[in-house]
């Protein structure tokens, strides 16, 4: 066991030597079409869980497939050295994968993985290569090398692998509740995220929350003819556009009263790290045909994506929307509106504020009804846990550039669930690249990411154990 946390050289050398075998193992796992959302693949999901149980048992874990009403969980417990002073770590990944449609857009069978040489380097091509089988195997391979080199695991470990992440995790919360004591650890390591712009190691410490609302504005009791009624009768589309247009002021700020309660300024240390990432927003936007950051005028592009809340209309409809033209004044108009939340913004308070704000702007003869579509607060990781600085240092050592605490504009609910149901902080880090085409045809994982990912975990375990 290496005692200099900066240089677990023997373990790293073993990882390098074992890479071909590690790739073979990953490809074995990738051959199992564990598509969780399609009942036709239920037996395959089971088989993937069995494969992982066997692999964990080979590493000395007390591992078992645990039934749920859906696909099974894999839970494994392992002990480190008797004199270990390091933390008890829980590792999370998921063995299920997305469907593969449209199959015609794949250049090969998605479940016949292969190594391919590309202009950007060698890749493992298969459904799940990046999301999340390749990523979860980085951790298991690091443990394998560690065990091979030292004869034991580096510290007390719990492995928790889910089989329903790509289908909404219906069994997850009940399982966490039913097994809360067993799943306790000092911190959870979640490997389902990526590098920042392909090369910079990153630890996600801010996850935006999400609040969804659907509005229906009602006016007349039926659709009206705009010749017979136009000019005299209220048009709910007009009312809806006026209300939604007021959601932002001319500076791009959201106008709901109290909306920014709980939104903090970025700490200077984090701001400096983000500055150092040199985010190329022109390229990021340019890839999708855009050029100008559309958020608050006085915020940086990364703040707009990670640390500032948003209000967006994700859908709008009303009246006649088919071919040609129909001069209708519709009885109703509809919109789906979402808010990305940060800091300690309270989704329930914002929902109430939004509804009151809409009601206050209704013109005569218009009424509003609302449907909720979920409410989750932002996730803010407690980076005071020593694992965070250890991980930053380990990642920096491996990737040759400083690791940053970054945000994530979307939601990764598992981190919040660990906090809510197990009282456990979580750290999200991973090695995916933006061009991995997860959820799309021709998914891949770079061999470099797999290899350096395994090495990153070895360095991190050395620093923590």
Footprint (CB under 8 A) of a second copy, residues 410-429: 410-411
**Is 221 one of the binding residues for a second copy (CB under 8 A)?**
yes
Interacting residue with a second copy among 60, 81, 301, 386 (CB under 8 A): 301
Complex with a second copy: residue 117 or 321, whichever CB lies closer: 321
Residues for the chain: how many in total?
465
Cβ-based burial of 249 (10 A; exposed 0-12, middle 13-18, buried ≥19): exposed
Residues 6+ apart with CB under 8 A from 277: 196, 197, 200, 302, 404, 406
Cα distances (angstroms) measured from residue 24 to each of 31, 137, 418: 11, 11, 32
Complex with a second copy: residue 182 or 312, whichever CB lies closer: 312
Report the alpha-carbon distance of residue 286 to residue 290 in Å, rounded: 5
**Is 253 one of the binding residues for a second copy (CB under 8 A)?**
no
Interacting residue with a second copy among 212, 262, 386, 441 (CB under 8 A): 212
Which residues within the stretch 382-411 sit at the binding site for a second copy (CB under 8 A)? 408-411
Complex with a second copy: residue 85 or 221, whichever CB lies closer: 221
**Is 310 one of the binding residues for a second copy (CB under 8 A)?**
yes
CB hemisphere CA count around 68 (13 angstroms):
25
Report the alpha-carbon distance of residue 238 to residue 80 in Å, rounded: 66
CB of residue 293 vs a second copy: minimum separation in angstroms?
5
Could you tell me which stretch among 2-10, 37-45, 122-130, 229-237 binds a second copy (CB under 8 A)?
A: 229-237
Report the alpha-carbon distance of residue 185 to residue 298 in Å, rounded: 41
Could you tell me which stretch among 34-42, 61-69, 157-165, 324-332 binds a second copy (CB under 8 A)?
A: 324-332
Which residues within the stretch 90-129 sit at the binding site for a second copy (CB under 8 A)? none
By the 8 A CB rule, do 230 and 327 touch? yes
Complex with a second copy: residue 190 or 454, whichever CB lies closer: 190
Residues 6+ apart with CB under 8 A from 307: 206, 266, 342, 343, 407
Give Rg (Cα) of the chain: 25
Q: Decide the pairing of beta strands 187-190 and 89-94.
A: parallel
**Is 137 one of the binding residues for a second copy (CB under 8 A)?**
no
**Is 333 one of the binding residues for a second copy (CB under 8 A)?**
yes
CB of residue 168 vs a second copy: minimum separation in angstroms?
11
**Is 230 one of the binding residues for a second copy (CB under 8 A)?**
yes
**Is 231 one of the binding residues for a second copy (CB under 8 A)?**
yes
Which residues within the stretch 29-88 sit at the binding site for a second copy (CB under 8 A)? none
CB of residue 75 vs a second copy: minimum separation in angstroms?
29
Interacting residue with a second copy among 39, 102, 119, 289 (CB under 8 A): 289
Could you tell me which stretch among 65-73, 93-101, 128-136, 302-310 binds a second copy (CB under 8 A)?
A: 302-310
CB of residue 193 vs a second copy: minimum separation in angstroms?
12
**Is 266 one of the binding residues for a second copy (CB under 8 A)?**
no
**Is 214 one of the binding residues for a second copy (CB under 8 A)?**
yes
Single out the residue of 217, 199, 183, 221 nearest to residue 417, CA to CA: 183
Interacting residue with a second copy among 31, 42, 77, 336 (CB under 8 A): 336
**Is 262 one of the binding residues for a second copy (CB under 8 A)?**
no
Q: How far is CA 294 from the centre of its chain?
A: 23
**Is 374 one of the binding residues for a second copy (CB under 8 A)?**
yes
Complex with a second copy: residue 85 or 321, whichever CB lies closer: 321
Report the alpha-carbon distance of residue 366 to residue 331 in Å, rounded: 10
Could you tell me which stretch among 117-125, 216-224, 376-384, 387-395 binds a second copy (CB under 8 A)?
A: 216-224
Contacts by 173-180, CB closer than 8 A, 24 or more apart: 173/417, 173/421, 174/68, 175/66, 175/68, 175/73, 176/417, 176/418, 176/421, 176/422, 177/421, 179/66, 179/75, 180/421, 180/422
Interacting residue with a second copy among 47, 77, 281, 385 (CB under 8 A): 281
In the numeric block, the tokens 């491996």 are attached to 398
Count of residues near a second copy by CB under 8 A: 78
**Is 248 one of the binding residues for a second copy (CB under 8 A)?**
yes
CB of residue 145 vs a second copy: minimum separation in angstroms?
33
Interacting residue with a second copy among 104, 117, 321, 384 (CB under 8 A): 321
**Is 170 one of the binding residues for a second copy (CB under 8 A)?**
no
Contacts by 117-124, CB closer than 8 A, 24 or more apart: 118/444, 120/435, 120/446, 121/446, 121/447, 121/448, 122/446, 122/447, 122/448, 123/444, 123/445, 123/446, 123/447, 124/23, 124/26, 124/27, 124/30, 124/444, 124/445, 124/446, 124/447, 124/450
Could you tell me which stretch among 182-190, 240-248, 390-398, 425-433 binds a second copy (CB under 8 A)?
A: 240-248
**Is 363 one of the binding residues for a second copy (CB under 8 A)?**
yes
Residues 6+ apart with CB under 8 A from 63: 52, 53, 56, 57, 74, 75, 76, 77, 159
Interacting residue with a second copy among 130, 138, 193, 235 (CB under 8 A): 235
């Amino acid at each position: 066991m290496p005692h200099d946390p900066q240089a677990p050289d023997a373990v790293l050398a073993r990882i390098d030597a074992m890479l071909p075998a590690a790739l073979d193992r990953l490809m074995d796992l990738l051959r199992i079409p564990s598509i969780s959302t399609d009942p036709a693949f239920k037996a395959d999901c089971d088989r993937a869980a069995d494969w992982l149980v066997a692999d964990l048992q080979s590493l000395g874990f007390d591992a078992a497939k645990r039934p749920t009403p859906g696909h099974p969980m894999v839970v494994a417990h392992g002990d480190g050295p008797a004199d270990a002073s390091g933390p008890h770590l829980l590792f999370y990944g998921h063995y299920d994968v997305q469907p593969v449609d449209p199959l015609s857009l794949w250049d090969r069978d998605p479940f016949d993985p292969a190594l391919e040489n590309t202009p950007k380097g060698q890749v493992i091509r298969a459904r799940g290569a990046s999301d999340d089988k390749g990523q979860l195997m980085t951790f298991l391979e690091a443990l394998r090398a560690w065990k091979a080199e030292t004869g034991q695991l580096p510290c007390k470990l719990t492995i928790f692998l889910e089989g329903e992440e790509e289908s909404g995790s219906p069994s997850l919360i009940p399982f966490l509740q039913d097994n809360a004591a067993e799943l306790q650890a000092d911190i959870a390591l979640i490997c389902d995220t990526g590098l920042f712009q392909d090369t910079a190691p990153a630890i996600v410490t801010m996850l935006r929350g999400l609040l969804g609302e659907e509005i229906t504005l009602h006016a007349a009791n039926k659709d009206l003819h705009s010749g017979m009624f136009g000019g005299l009768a209220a048009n709910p589309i007009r009312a809806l556009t006026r209300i939604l247009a007021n959601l932002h002021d001319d500076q791009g700020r959201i106008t709901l009263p109290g909306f920014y309660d709980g939104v903090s300024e970025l700490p200077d240390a984090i701001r400096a790290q983000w500055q150092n990432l040199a985010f190329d927003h022109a390229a990021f936007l340019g890839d999708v045909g855009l050029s100008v950051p559309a958020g608050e005028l006085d915020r940086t592009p990364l703040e707009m994506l990670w640390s500032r809340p948003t209000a967006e209309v994700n859908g709008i409809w009303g009246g006649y929307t088919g071919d040609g033209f129909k001069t209708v004044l519709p009885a109703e108009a509809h919109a789906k509106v979402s808010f990305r939340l940060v800091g300690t913004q309270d989704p329930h308070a914002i929902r109430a504020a939004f509804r009151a704000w809409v009601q206050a702007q209704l013109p005569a003869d218009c009424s509003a009804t609302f449907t909720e579509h979920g409410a989750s607060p932002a996730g803010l990781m407690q980076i005071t846990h020593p694992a965070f600085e250890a991980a930053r240092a380990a990642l920096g050592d491996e990737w040759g550039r400083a690791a940053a605490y970054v945000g994530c504009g979307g939601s990764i609910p598992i981190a919040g669930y660990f906090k809510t149901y197990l009282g456990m902080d979580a750290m999200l880090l991973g090695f995916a690249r933006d061009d991995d085409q997860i959820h799309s045809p021709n998914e891949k994982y770079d061999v470099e990411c797999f290899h350096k990912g395994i090495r990153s975990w070895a360095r991190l375990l050395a620093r923590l154990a």
